[in-house]
Amino acid sequence: MRTQVGIIGSGPAGLLLSQLLHLQGIESVVVERQSREYVLGRIRAGVIEQGAVALLREAQVHERMDREGQIHEGIGIAFGGRRHRIDFRALTGSSVMVYGQTEITRDLFKARDAMGGTIIHDAEDVTLHDVATEAPHLTYRKGDDVHRVDCDFIAGCDGFHGVSRRTIPAHVLRTYEKVYPFGWLGVLSRTPPVSPEVTYNHHERGFALCSMRSESLSRYYVQCSLDDDVGQWPDDRFWDELRRRLPEDAARTLVTGPSIEKSIAPLRSFVAEPMRHGRLFLAGDAAHIVPPTGAKGLNLAASDVYYLSHALVAWYGSGDTKLMDAYSDHCLRRVWKAERFSWWMTTLLHRFPENGPFGERIQLAELDYLVNSKAAMTALAENYTGLPY
């Protein structure tokens, strides 16, 4: 098989890149090791920056998002028993869209199917070849048959555990990582959200997050030990713990119900440099991971796709390599700012017992400064709603 761009991974980054390239007349093949059902079964966050919203509209996959997504013009920060609102609209004139990542992926699958896009699922033993040459190709196995895809470029959108980053030689790749000493226990429930906006809660028992997927579907998280197991957290225990970490008015109005999904996720910050090697380009989680506190994972993937799609369009349109040569630098400049913001939000809001009483008082002082300083709130709002591409 021959195509112009081989894309590894059918998550939102790979599908969005394929869709944008198709609209510019550039062919691609998406190769995915999992089934479509598996991909659509992954539960992910859904706070979308303005830049990512604009990119989804450019990709012509915005109709259901505009109809069902919720525009949020602020967030809540709760500590000391009180909730404080950060007003994005007043501070920056901007907002975010709350729309599940699973729904974005579903919309992208539908668009690629409608336009005849080639998506190969259940591809085993995906291997990248000759990526440092002008004739890269990839191979994969289905059953007993090995298939080959020749292409001009390869986009590695296959996540943290994918093959793409591992293809870059060790002497070329540099990695940076911070692993946090706790996880998030998340519960999805068919209950109305406790607040109309996402609320971050700092409490002496640990962090809690109140989020939502819709007006009737809520997503809640509590900070937990990495040694915990989901089986240790029956629904009743989870709801009791969440109530304890919320301000009294929120705890009184919290509506509980059976969990639809429950999982524990570790938190880490991770960056791989460079994001290009020869004709292989990394995008999304293949190149970087952020703790979910800043809601940047999906949004960083979208900005990578923005830079990569524009670089490929320029190359195929006129042979111009400037954007392609600058791809890694452009991405990483934005990536590191998002990493900084996500690290800051994480260290500000979570309980770090090893920091002792002094560390706790510093957190409270920082939170008090934040909610009483227009400059500090503006900086948070600018980063949360999305820095420019």
pLDDT digits (tens, 9 = 90+) for 106-127: 999 999 999 999 999 999 999 9
Q: Is 377 exposed, middle or buried (0-12, 13-18, 19+ CB in 10 A)?
A: buried
Q: Where are the alpha helices (DSSP H) in 246-326?
A: 248-253, 297-318, 322-325
Sequence-distant (≥ 6) Cβ neighbours of residue 171 within 8 angstroms: none
- Per domain, the residue ranges of the chain are 5-71+98-177+268-345, 181-267+351-385
Phi, psi of 52 (to 5 degrees): -70, -40
Write the class of the CATH domain 181-267+351-385: alpha beta
Instruction: Judge contact between 262 and 351, C-beta under 8 A.
Output: no
Judge whether 200 counts as a catalytic residue. Answer: yes
Sequence-distant (≥ 6) Cβ neighbours of residue 370 within 8 angstroms: 77, 348, 376, 377, 380
Judge whether 221 counts as a catalytic residue. Answer: no
Judge whether 384 counts as a catalytic residue. Answer: yes
CATH topology identical between 5-71+98-177+268-345 and 181-267+351-385: no
The single residue of 203, 277, 288, 296 carrying the catalytic annotation is 296
The single residue of 200, 221, 307, 327 carrying the catalytic annotation is 200
Average pLDDT value for the chain: 96
Q: What is the pLDDT of residues 349-361, one digit of tens each?
A: 999 989 999 999 9
Q: What is the pLDDT of residues 255-283, one digit of tens each?
A: 999 999 999 999 999 999 999 999 999 99
Helix (H, G, I), strand (E, B) or coil at 25: coil
Judge whether 316 counts as a catalytic residue. Answer: no
pLDDT of residue 41: 86
C-alpha distances out from residue 178 to 108, 138, 270, 320, 373, Å: 32, 32, 7, 37, 29
Q: How would CATH label the architecture of 5-71+98-177+268-345?
A: 3-Layer(bba) Sandwich (3.50)
What tokens appear for 203 in the block? 């409490």
Judge whether 180 counts as a catalytic residue. Answer: no
Q: What is the pLDDT of residues 291-311, one digit of tens each?
A: 999 999 999 999 999 999 999
Q: Is 243 exposed, middle or buried (0-12, 13-18, 19+ CB in 10 A)?
A: middle
